[in-house]
């Protein structure tokens, strides 16, 4: 089950009993990857998203992981720092931070006061970057304390790690900017620190090499991600989670359309493929022999018993887009199981 952004926590970033129900309903997944979880107060980008940096937040997640384990499931925590994908309205008036003071153009951000234009973020000092690396390390340790089986770094879809990787968001001149090696340093350091914190084969990463969303553009993504994956191959990771293109990229000819074929072949790690798969296209992807796992997002949201439905070739519930990100039980825990 793929990670999916959720704004269903309380004002303090604590998940509730509905969250326990939601994940327990879906524990038949081979592996659940949680919704994106803020690693610190600074990491928060959207209102009502959960955290894992206070004792109260950790205790709330313990209820989720315990219930999933008791139902026979496995669950990883997806660790999140949104960087410039946020707004001061929901950050106590504090500007979002980023590798460089470059605003996202052509999009608006979802805030507690409705859609807003993106602000120009504050560029991080070098020492602050090193502190964020340590925040990820602490969050990984907190996730294990909360009962998660491992962690996944959200380095995709234009959030902070992704911002460091690409030229459009990173104009730095220190050790974290300029060359491909320098732009990959932030992600590599985070991954190594998390491995050191929680051990081998418990740390994973999600990448979206061909997704320009959130103003993420690079002139040579193939060279960039080839270098990054080579760095990651030096570490004992659980898997690499690769997202397919989810937006039109015809005007970006440098962006590979076959992400799994281009990048999945470069790693010794288990490859998980993500992005718009059905049962049939997922099977076809597995038959190619590169990806060993397929993750499903919206299909799992709408079908808590998705593996059983695949097994029986049953009809699928359709996700309600209007209730996908926030609200109560409607469109969250009230999707029917087979036979209901």
List, by residue number, the catalytic residues: 159
Using the CB atoms, write b or e for 20-38: b if 16+ within 10 Å.
bbbbbbbbbbebbbbbbbb
C-alpha separations of 208 from 212, 218, 275 in Å: 9, 12, 10
- How many residues does the structure list for the chain? 340
3-state secondary structure of 190: helix
Q: Which residues contact 140 (CB under 8 A, 6 or more apart)?
A: 79, 151, 193, 194, 197, 198, 203
C-alpha separations of 244 from 27, 67, 155, 261 in Å: 25, 31, 14, 10
3-state secondary structure of 332: coil
| CA dist., res. 94 & res. 68, Å (int) | 36
| CA dist., res. 75 & res. 30, Å (int) | 9
DSSP 39-101: SSTTT--STT--BSSSHHHHHHHHHHHHHHHHTT--EEEEEE--TTSS-GGGTTTPPPEESSS
Cα angle, residue 216 at apex, residues 215 and 217 outer, rounded to 5°: 110
| CA dist., res. 63 & res. 100, Å (int) | 38
């Amino acid at each position: 089950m793929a990670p999916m952004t959720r704004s269903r926590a309380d004002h303090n970033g604590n998940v509730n009993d509905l969250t326990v129900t939601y994940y327990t309903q879906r524990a038949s997944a081979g592996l659940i990857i949680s919704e994106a979880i803020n690693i610190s107060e600074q990491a928060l980008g959207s209102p009502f998203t959960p955290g894992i940096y206070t004792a109260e937040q950790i205790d709330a997640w313990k209820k989720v992981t315990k219930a999933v384990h008791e139902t026979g499931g496995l669950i990883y925590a997806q660790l999140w720092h949104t960087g410039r994908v946020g707004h001061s309205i929901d950050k106590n008036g504090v500007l979002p931070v980023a590798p460089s003071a470059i605003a996202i153009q052509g999009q608006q951000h979802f805030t507690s006061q409705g859609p807003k234009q993106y602000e120009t973020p504050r560029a991080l000092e070098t020492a602050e970057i090193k502190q964020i690396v340590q925040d990820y390390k602490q969050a990984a340790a907190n996730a294990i304390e909360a009962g998660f089986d491992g962690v996944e770094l959200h380095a995709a879809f234009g959030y902070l790690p992704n911002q460091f990787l690409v030229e459009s968001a990173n104009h730095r001149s220190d050790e974290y900017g300029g060359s491909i090696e320098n732009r990959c340093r932030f992600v590599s350091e985070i991954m190594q620190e998390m491995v050191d914190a929680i051990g081998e084969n418990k740390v994973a990463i999600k990448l979206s090499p061909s997704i320009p969303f959130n103003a993420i553009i690079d002139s040579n993504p193939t060279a960039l991600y080839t270098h990054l994956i080579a760095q990651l191959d030096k570490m004992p990771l659980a898997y690499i989670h690769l997202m397919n293109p989810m937006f039109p990229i015809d005007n970006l000819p440098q962006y590979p359309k076959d992400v799994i074929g281009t990048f999945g072949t470069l790693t010794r790690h288990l490859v998980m493929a993500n992005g718009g798969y059905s049962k049939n296209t997922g099977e076809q992807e597995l038959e190619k022999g590169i990806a060993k796992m397929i993750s499903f997002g919206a299909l799992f949201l709408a079908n808590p018993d998705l593996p059983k439905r695949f097994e029986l070739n049953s009809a699928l519930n359709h996700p309600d887009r209007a209730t996908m990100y926030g609200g109560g039980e409607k469109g969250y825990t009230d999707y029917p199981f087979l036979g209901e």
